[in-house]
Chains A and B, each alone.
Chain A
């Protein structure tokens, strides 16, 4: 049963097809990687799925519902939450507050309880605080809970981003290059954390440049080049796919060597 299914998704910017007739599916509980060289259209694909830009053509189904053309906040409400390539956190708030605000969808159901300070809201708050602690613990940020987000080092900022997205309790977590700028240890740790997130029942779609991360982590990998999908398969299949090696992995191995 696939949680996310995109069909012939296309986005034209003027004459250029940033995403050209791409279809793939993300199964419930899977970790799916979306890879490809720079400019392949991975982030555009993310933006199309999460509603930040509207497709020229094609369709996005999420949890059996057509979500094509919905607004980002509506898509988040359906349960697909993303992070950004350029680190984006609420920098004037504390780490803890970031994760509380991340639970907006949950707390927004209790607007009037909050305004009139009903006792019920105190329980909601307590539950949110408990969840924030759990998420920060999972991400290894608990010790920094009271830090102002703007004072976190880069690697931890990237983790905080994921923590905020997790706080929204998504069915599908979409991570846009979470390991960018991380060192070996940090990205190895990230792989562990993402596995734990999946094991807690979430589905993960990840755009990533770091091959080690992708190969270690993903059940399925979708490879894009110049807007088109050129391959899809398990890490093992992708590793041996001639076309993939030509456009992408070949390069990486050269660099690695």
Chain B
């Protein structure tokens, strides 16, 4: 117990203190990007890592999250925080609809189905220009701290917001996997037949996991919007999905912190080594290849972190 607490406290402390050491504003931006991308990867980990399917349209929920937030602020006149809640609920509902329809499929068919939905949503946003301003995009301002006049315009404060959200999402992940639902997900991943024979409703559990995943993706999108300042239908494109997928696969699918490692490799390392974008693609491709060949379970497996199931087991004192 003490050990697991420490395992969380030490990294948390490091991330809390980083901005005090790293004063270069450019590095701070990279860290914020890292945080937001890791949320996208956490979201995809629910599908790739736990359900065991690949969603090729996941950026749709990242983009929808951002758009729902921006549009509710624009048309309902609510503030950022209310729009955040509304956006999570709305995206979750869309996720329920998409999950309900697509999770009957498996493998390639599921991937294509999610990709198709993502394109539909992207084209809708692109073409409903009267409301969404189409390809022009919508600009989104930085929010204020609730009940105060302090703007999160400074990257330092925004960094702490993103950091807090990442911590909450990780804690949420841990909680979920200690519940019967979490165990059901692990069971389904290992053997669907056996899972259903002991009373687990497979489709329902998968849909629930999918909805949770879309809500986390929306959370990433809602945060990304005011950080970047403008959102375009491009946010729903397969580019973001692919980035997220690479992070999950490289980081270690199905591992609690896998997405975090993956996001780190894809956002922070290129900056440290000063790679040009073209060079990045080459290096990422190479990394992915090496990863699939030599550590198919990702970085997390190398770090010998126990899978969630084992964490729960350890907690139970066995």
* Residues in chain A within 8 A of chain B (CB atoms): 50, 52, 71-73, 76-77, 81-84, 88-94, 96-97, 100-102, 104-105, 107-108, 110-111, 114-115, 117, 125, 129, 145-146, 164-165, 167-168
Contact = CB atoms under 8 A, between A and B. Distances in A.
Interface string B250-284: 00000000000000000000000000000000000
B194 A164 contact: yes
Contacts of B181: 108, 111
A111 B179 contact: yes
Contacts of B313: 94, 96-97
22 contacts: A71-B201, A72-B196, A73-B197, A81-B197, A84-B193, A84-B197, A90-B191, A92-B190, A93-B190, A96-B313, A97-B312, A101-B186, A101-B198, A104-B184, A105-B199, A107-B180, A107-B183, A108-B181, A114-B179, A114-B180, A115-B175, A129-B318
Interface residues of B, number: 28
B309 A89 contact: no
A104 B200 contact: yes
A108 B187 contact: no
Interface centre among A84, A104, A107, A146 (most CB of B within 10 A): A104
Interface in B266-318: 307, 309-310, 312-313, 316, 318
Contact of B198 (A52, A91, A92, A104): A104
A90 B192 CA distance: 10
Given A107-B180, A111-B180, A115-B176, A89 B187 contact: no
Nearest to A77: B199
B64 interface: no
B180 A90 contact: no
Nearest to B196: A72
Nearest to A83: B197
Given A73-B196, A73-B200, A101-B184, 20 more contacts: A50-B197, A52-B193, A76-B198, A76-B199, A81-B198, A82-B197, A88-B191, A90-B186, A91-B190, A92-B307, A97-B309, A104-B184, A104-B198, A104-B199, A105-B199, A107-B183, A108-B180, A117-B175, A146-B318, A165-B198
A194 to B, nearest CB: 18
B86 interface: no
Contact of A89 (B175, B180, B191): B191
5 closest A-B pairs by beta carbon, nearest first, are A76-B199, A114-B179, A105-B199, A107-B180, A72-B196
Nearest to A167: B198
How would you classify the secondary structure of chain A's contact residues: helix, strand, loop or mixed?
Answer: helix
Given A100-B183, A104-B180, A107-B183, A92 B309 contact: yes
A97 B309 CA distance: 8
A156 B185 CA distance: 25
Contact of A84 (B183, B194, B199): B194
Interface centre among A76, A77, A145, A165 (most CB of B within 10 A): A76
B104 to A, nearest CB: 13
A88 B199 contact: no
Contacts of A100: 183
Nearest to B191: A88
B60 interface: no
B170 interface: no
B178 interface: yes
Interface centre among B176, B202, B309 (most CB of A within 10 A): B309
A31 to B, nearest CB: 20
A71 B181 CA distance: 19
Contacts of B184: 101, 104, 108
A89 B197 contact: no
Contacts of B186: 90, 93, 101
A107 B193 CA distance: 19
B141 to A, nearest CB: 35
